[in-house]
């Protein structure tokens, strides 16, 4: 039996696999940059609905997570060891998980456009180049958090038409005071900002929102993808932002002379296929 997990800032998908048995469950996001080993253990124990047959050993766990750098992955591993002491545990970055899900053993450019954003040049086995995403304050162009941040700022500074701004504030029941408090006084502002991004997908047919998305995705290509200098390779994406804005991404990719490969919302099913090869 294997467990494969894909974790971002907002959510973690867990796929439990055995012969004639497969189930997927979800917990909140796990990131060792923001959570301790004890915090992560608590999330898993409290939220993970263990739909595992009795007396079954978990042979291997593959955990792909945001923030799982060489210096931080031990934090996640320590939490999992407490819960699954007999399992072989592999901790890798969510970016490698995205590359394996999107490209398998083929060369290409793999990207994440979800709450955060990231990209890499993948040779079919390893990540060989990566432009640092830098997080939603300094980078994360095209991500849900940055789209939400830019949307809020544009509405508060009246850079978008009043009818769009009013619709936005009414839909989310927000005031300037609430927004400022959530961003500057409450934890995990990136999750709050990312939760506003669906408004853009729902209204992307409006010319102003369409151009807004094109501008932001152009920033993602210009500041990330262009650095690899490999427009001979397809660019593939995982994440809800990419999934719901496929047409806009294709338009921007064409502008920069790139082809779009695969776009998937969640990589978890593709990852089990990768590990069963």
Tell me, yes or no, if the pTM score tops 0.95: no
The reply to whether 92 falls in a domain is yes
The reply to whether 210 falls in a domain is no
The reply to whether 165 falls in a domain is no
pLDDT in tens, 47-91: 665 555 555 678 899 999 988 888 899 999 999 999 888 899 999
pLDDT of residue 56: 60
Pairing of strands 21-28, 11-18: antiparallel
Share of the chain above pLDDT 90, in %: 67
Domain of 49 in residue numbering reads as: 2-97+268-276
The reply to whether 241 falls in a domain is no
The reply to whether 53 falls in a domain is yes
The reply to whether 199 falls in a domain is no
Per the structure, the count of domains in the chain is: 1
Summarize the confidence of residues 87-116 as an average pLDDT.
94
CATH of the domain at 71: 3.30.420.40
To the nearest whole number, what is the mean pLDDT of the chain? 90
Q: Give the separation between CA 194 and CA 146, rounded to whole angstroms.
A: 7
Q: Give the separation between CA 157 and CA 139, rounded to whole angstroms.
A: 21
pLDDT band at 46 (very low <50, low <70, confident <90, very high): confident
pLDDT in tens, 156-193: 999 999 999 999 999 999 999 999 999 999 888 988 99
pLDDT band at 25 (very low <50, low <70, confident <90, very high): confident
Asked whether 161 and 168 are in contact (CB, 8 A), the reply is no
The reply to whether 90 falls in a domain is yes
């Amino acid at each position: 039996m294997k467990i494969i997990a894909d974790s971002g800032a907002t959510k973690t998908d867990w796929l439990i696999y055995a012969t004639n048995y497969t189930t997927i469950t979800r917990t909140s996001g796990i990131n060792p940059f923001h959570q301790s080993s004890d915090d992560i253990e608590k999330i898993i124990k409290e939220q993970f609905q263990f739909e595992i047959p009795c007396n079954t050993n978990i042979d291997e766990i593959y955990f792909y997570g945001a923030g799982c750098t060489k210096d931080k992955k031990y934090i996640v591993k320590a939490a999992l060891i407490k819960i699954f002491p007999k399992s072989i545990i592999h901790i890798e970055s969510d970016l490698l998980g995205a590359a394996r899900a999107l490209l398998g053993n083929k060369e290409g450019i793999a990207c994440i456009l979800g709450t955060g954003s990231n990209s890499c040049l993948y040779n079919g086995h390893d990540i060989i180049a990566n432009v640092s995403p830098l997080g939603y304050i300094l980078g994360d162009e095209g991500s849900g958090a940055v789209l939400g941040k830019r949307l809020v700022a544009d509405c508060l500074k009246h850079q978008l038409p009043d009818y769009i701004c009013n619709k936005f504030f009414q839909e989310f029941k927000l005031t300037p005071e609430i927004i400022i408090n959530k961003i500057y006084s409450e934890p995990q502002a990136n999750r709050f900002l990312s939760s506003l991004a669906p408004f853009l997908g729902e209204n992307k047919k409006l010319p102003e929102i369409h151009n807004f998305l094109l501008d932001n995705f152009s920033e993602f290509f210009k500041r990330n993808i262009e650095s690899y200098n490999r427009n001979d390779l397809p660019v593939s994406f995982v994440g809800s932002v990419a999934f719901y804005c496929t047409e806009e991404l294709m338009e921007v990719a064409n502008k920069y002379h790139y082809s779009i490969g695969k776009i998937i919302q969640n990589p978890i099913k593709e990852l089990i296929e990768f590990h069963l090869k």
